[in-house]
Structures are given as structure tokens and as C-alpha cells.
């Protein structure tokens, strides 16, 4: 027990300052934001379009109420306007301008409002939280998704004992298409699971993200590591049971990029790095060639048909419409609004109107033409470039050359690689949680180029209460 007397020269012992209640509530609000963005389909399936819109509006108003005073009062620092991800914001501005020539103006206005709201949320999180807090917030949101997915799957399999439709509707007569279900109840039947997000592919990629986030937190020395191992096991279970070939491919490439970054960290000389880059290039070319020539076998292993589960037909129809306006596109709409006449019954899959092109580059070409493709390519290239050197360069801002690497600095480059692979078969990297990750990580790396430095990287606000 600490002793203190009249002869002591040190200050009296006291408990460490606690994090302020306001900052704890701020972090809780951000976790809720991330959960609602990542699990937006769960909110839609639970509350419908109108209910989901109300939730989004309330969260956005709350975020603006927190962000505007902080920017005005320069807390935690002066807002770095010059370091905004301007190319990505230029893409958002072009999306708004497309309202003047859009073939679906109401869909453009609706989805642009959603895109702008997510952009504001991402900028707010990057400016407000430190790197450690951002990763912990991502971890908390993903834990909620995994935990609620397990509870919902157990309830459907053990209590309800039949598939669950959105809005908890009664099953119609006959046998509806399985894609209509929110959860199919296959947890104990060996089939694919959907979780609260209601889609196996989405659940698979979110589990892949969770595995990366949890593993990096474990490597960083997070508290309660045994509990973190339990979450890793649960994420791995859902990742395998989701059975998403896209998620498998994204995770595999992310793992390869992680290994490459770790190898590059061990290389200390420019000549050694040049050799490593040559090796990585050769491995990538050989791997791409092998995957191309063995694609039929790979599709068979992954349970996919040669037409990529109908994606080739979707791409043909999207291309036919996109080339009609190749420069500026047909108008922004991410995602497609299924009840808009331009999209309703245009492309049908399993008797459901498709709401994306299942390829982000083709989707951008359809909506904003070659100009949009150029902007989004620059945005992702800048993100990937900065993320790579954020991961492999030793943190240095003075004469000290041997600072240790931070495990969390690997997060942007691994998630960026996974998003780029995902974008070959899905359009999610340019909308909703994919867009949030792009803006959030791009902006955070620009304002805080080292883990532990920059705006929001200092100690969080402390409570005025101290206990003796």
C-alpha cells in the first residue's frame, strides 16, 4: 500500500485520472454509428424504409450537433481543412452535379443524401478519435453484429423453427425464394448463415474485417485478450459458415498483403526493399496467371458457376446502358433505388430487383462515366499508396530511428486490399460501409500519419473527478 508522510517529497498518491463521461458517451455514439452503417440491412429488415430513414436522420442530427461545436471551438484541434480527402470529395461533388443530367433524378437526390451523410460521419470519426479509439470502435461495432447474429440465428433455429422474413412477416403460401428470407434458419443444418445483416456475402466480408481488426488488437496488446480470442473464434465460425467466395478471396489477398508488409518491415536497406518489390511483383503476376488459367477449377472449389453466379449477365446489361453516356454517365445512384422506374424490374435475380452492378468500376462507369471512374481510381490509388507506407515505414518525426512499429498501422493497408478485391464482384466499396472506410481511413492517415500523433491522438479528455 502506498505510504505518504510529512517528510515525503513526492506528491501524494492518487488514482489515475479517469476518462471524462462526455468522451465515453461520444465513443458510444460513434460505436452506434458504425453499427448502423455496417448493419444497415438489419435496420431495414426490422423497421422498413421509413424507419431506417428516421434512424439515419436522428443519428446524423446527433453527429452534426457533436461535430459543429468541436470544429468551431477547435477541439481536439483546429479542423485540418487542407488535409481532407479532396479526390473522394470531388467524386461526391460530381455525384451531386449529376442531378442536372441524371436519368433518375429522385434516386440521385436520395442516394446522394445518404452518401453525403456517411461522408460527414466518416470525417467526424477520423477527426474526433485517435487511431486506438477508432480500431476499438470498429471492434465494438463488429462484436455487436457478431453477437446479435448468433442470437438471431439461434432463435430462428431453436425457437421459430422456420425461416424468418423481413419485418417478422408471416410466411406466405407456397414456397418463396430463399433469397427473400432475412434468416433461413440453417445454423444447425450445415447451410449458409445470414446473421442480422440478412445476406451471407455481407456477413462473410464483415467477419473477414472482424478477424483483421481483432487480430491486430491482439497483436497490439489489447486488454482482455482471452475474451478477444473468443470473438476471433466466433468471427471465424461465421466466416466459414457464410460460405462467401468473395469474402474468401478478399481475406486471402488481405492476408498476402499483411505478410508482404511484415516482410517489408524487416528489410532495412533501399536495395533490400527494391528486391522485395521485385519479388512481390513476380509473385503477383504468377499468382494472377495461375488463377486465370485455373479459374474453372477455382470456381468449382468455391461452389461458383462459370458465369460467376449470374454476374456476367448483370455486367452485360449494365455495360449496354453505361456506354450510352460514357463521359459523364447516366446519373448517380449508389445503391440503385429498386422502386425507381429506371431500375424497377430492369435486372431481376431470384425474382428480386438488383440494386448494384456487382462491380464497383462498372457501377461508377454507369453512373458517372469515365470522369467518375478517373476520380474513384485516383481516390483508391492515393488511399492504397498512403496506407502501404503507413504500414511499412518506421514511425519517425525526429532523429530517433528505432521507434517500434505499431500493429494497428497495418489496418488501412489490409482493409484497403480487401476492399479493392471486393470491388471486383461487389459495388459496396463505393457505398455505405465501404465508402465510410475509404473516407475514414484516408482522412485519418492524412491528419495522423503516425499512430499516436496528430489531431485526436492525444490523451482523451479526463474527468475532473479524482479519487484518493
Q: What is the DSSP letter of 179?
A: G
Weakest-pLDDT range from 96-100, 285-289, 423-427: 285-289
Distance CA 328, CA 374 (A): 11
Q: What is the pLDDT of residue 432?
A: 94
Q: Average pLDDT in the 314-333 region?
A: 95
Q: What is the pLDDT of residue 40?
A: 93
Distance CA 114, CA 99 (A): 14
Q: What is the pLDDT of residue 237?
A: 97
pLDDT confidence bin for 416, thresholds 50/70/90? very high
Q: What is the pLDDT of residue 14?
A: 62
pLDDT confidence bin for 465, thresholds 50/70/90? very low
Q: Average pLDDT in the 92-110 region?
A: 96
Q: Average pLDDT in the 423-449 region?
A: 95
pLDDT confidence bin for 319, thresholds 50/70/90? very high
Q: Average pLDDT in the 420-430 region?
A: 95
For residue 42, pLDDT over 90 is answered with yes
Q: Average pLDDT in the 245-265 region?
A: 94
Asked whether 361 and 427 are in contact (CB, 8 A), the reply is no
pLDDT confidence bin for 303, thresholds 50/70/90? low
Instruction: Choose among 453, 435, 433, 432: nearest CA to 444.
Output: 453
363: exposed, middle or buried (C-beta count within 10 Å: 0-12, 13-18, 19+)?
Answer: buried
Residues in a beta bridge with 405: none
For residue 380, pLDDT over 90 is answered with yes
Residues in a beta bridge with 462: 19
pLDDT confidence bin for 294, thresholds 50/70/90? confident
Percent residues over pLDDT 90 in the chain? 63
For residue 459, pLDDT over 60 is answered with no
Which residue in this structure is represented by grid cell 430513414?
Answer: 53
Q: Give the CA distances from residue 65 to residues 72, 124, 258, in Å, rounded to whole numbers and listed in that order.
A: 11, 11, 38
Q: What is the pLDDT of residues 144-168, one digit of tens each?
A: 999 999 999 999 999 988 888 887 7
When comparing pLDDT for 258 and 450, which is higher?
258
Chain centre to alpha carbon of residue 403: 29
pLDDT confidence bin for 96, thresholds 50/70/90? very high
For residue 387, pLDDT over 60 is answered with yes
Q: Give 185-188's long-range contacts (Cβ < 8 A, gap of 24+).
A: 185/153, 185/156, 185/157, 185/160, 185/161, 186/157, 187/153, 187/154, 187/156, 187/157, 187/241, 188/157
Q: For the chain, what is the mean pLDDT? A: 88
Weakest-pLDDT range from 69-78, 265-274, 436-445: 69-78
When comparing pLDDT for 373 and 74, which is higher?
373
pTM (global) more than 0.85: yes
Q: Average pLDDT in the 282-306 region?
A: 78
* Residue ranges per structural domain of the chain: 21-129+244-395+405-447
Distance CA 290, CA 307 (A): 19
Q: What is the pLDDT of residue 466?
A: 43
Q: What is the pLDDT of residues 348-376, one digit of tens each?
A: 887 788 889 999 999 999 999 999 999 99
Q: Average pLDDT in the 243-253 region?
A: 93
Weakest-pLDDT range from 112-121, 312-321, 394-403, 413-422: 394-403
Asked whether 10 and 454 are in contact (CB, 8 A), the reply is no
Weakest-pLDDT range from 70-79, 202-211, 421-430, 437-446: 70-79
pLDDT confidence bin for 288, thresholds 50/70/90? confident
For residue 415, pLDDT over 50 is answered with yes
Instruction: Choose among 338, 339, 329: nearest CA to 363.
Output: 329
Averaging pLDDT over each range in 155-169, 242-256, 446-460, which range is the top one? 242-256
Asked whether 83 and 317 are in contact (CB, 8 A), the reply is no
Give backbone dihedrals phi and psi of 462, rounded to 5 degrees, phi first: -100, 150
Instruction: Choose among 140, 152, 153: nearest CA to 228.
Output: 140
Amino acid at each position: 500500500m502506498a505510504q505518504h508522510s510529512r517528510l515525503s517529497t513526492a506528491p501524494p498518491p492518487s488514482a489515475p485520472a479517469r476518462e471524462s463521461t462526455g468522451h465515453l458517451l461520444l465513443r458510444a455514439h460513434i460505436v452506434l454509428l458504425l453499427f448502423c452503417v455496417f448493419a444497415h440491412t438489419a435496420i431495414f429488415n426490422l423497421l422498413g424504409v421509413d424507419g431506417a430513414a428516421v434512424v439515419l436522420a436522428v443519428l446524423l442530427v446527433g453527429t452534426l450537433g457533436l461535430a459543429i461545436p468541436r470544429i468551431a471551438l477547435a477541439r481536439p484541434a483546429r479542423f485540418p481543412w487542407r488535409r481532407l480527402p479532396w479526390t473522394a470529395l470531388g467524386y461526391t461533388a460530381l455525384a451531386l452535379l449529376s442531378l442536372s443530367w441524371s436519368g433518375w433524378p429522385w434516386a440521385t437526390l436520395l442516394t446522394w443524401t445518404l452518401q453525403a451523410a456517411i461522408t460527414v460521419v466518416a470525417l467526424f470519426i477520423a477527426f474526433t478519435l485517435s487511431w486506438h479509439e477508432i480500431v476499438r470502435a470498429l471492434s465494438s461495432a463488429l462484436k455487436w453484429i457478431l453477437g446479435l447474429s448468433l442470437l438471431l440465428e439461434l432463435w430462428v433455429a431453436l425457437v421459430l423453427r422456420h425461416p424468418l422474413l423481413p419485418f417478422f412477416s408471416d410466411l406466405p403460401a407456397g414456397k418463396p425464394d430463399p433469397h427473400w428470407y432475412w434468416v433461413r434458419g440453417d445454423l444447425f443444418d450445415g447451410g449458409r448463415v445470414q446473421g442480422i445483416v440478412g445476406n451471407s456475402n455481407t456477413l462473410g466480408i464483415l467477419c473477414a474485417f472482424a478477424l483483421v481488426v481483432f487480430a491486430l488488437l491482439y497483436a497490439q496488446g489489447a486488454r482482455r485478450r482471452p475474451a478477444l480470442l473468443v470473438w476471433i473464434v466466433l468471427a471465424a465460425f461465421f466466416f466459414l459458415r457464410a460460405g462467401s467466395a468473395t469474402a474468401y478471396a478478399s481475406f486471402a489477398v488481405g492476408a498476402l498483403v499483411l505478410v508482404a508488409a511484415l516482410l517489408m518491415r524487416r528489410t532495412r536497406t533501399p536495395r533490400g526493399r527494391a528486391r522485395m518489390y521485385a519479388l512481390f511483383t513476380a509473385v503477383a503476376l504468377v499468382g494472377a496467371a495461375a488463377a486465370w488459367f485455373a479459374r474453372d477449377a477455382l470456381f468449382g472449389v468455391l461452389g461458383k458457376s462459370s458465369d460467376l453466379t449470374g454476374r456476367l449477365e448483370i455486367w452485360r446489361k449494365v455495360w449496354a446502358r453505361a456506354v450510352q453516356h460514357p463521359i459523364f454517365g447516366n446519373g448517380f445512384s449508389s445503391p440503385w433505388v429498386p422502386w425507381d422506374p429506371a431500375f424497377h424490374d430492369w435486372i431481376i435475380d431470384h425474382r428480386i430487383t438488383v440494386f448494384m452492378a456487382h462491380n464497383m468500376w462498372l457501377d461508377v462507369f454507369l453512373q458517372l462515366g469515365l470522369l467518375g471512374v478517373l476520380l474513384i481510381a485516383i481516390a483508391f490509388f492515393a488511399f492504397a499508396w498512403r496506407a502501404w507506407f503507413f504500414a511499412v515505414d518506421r514511425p519517425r518525426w525526429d532523429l530517433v530511428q528505432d521507434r517500434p512499429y505499431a500493429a494497428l498501422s497495418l489496418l488501412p493497408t489490409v482493409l484497403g486490399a480487401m476492399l479493392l478485391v471486393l470491388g471486383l464482384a461487389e459495388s459496396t466499396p463505393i457505398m455505405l460501409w465501404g465508402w465510410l472506410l475509404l473516407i475514414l481511413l484516408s482522412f485519418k492517415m492524412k491528419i495522423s500519419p503516425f499512430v499516436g500523433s496528430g489531431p485526436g491522438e492525444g490523451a482523451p479528455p479526463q474527468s475532473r473527478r479524482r479519487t484518493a
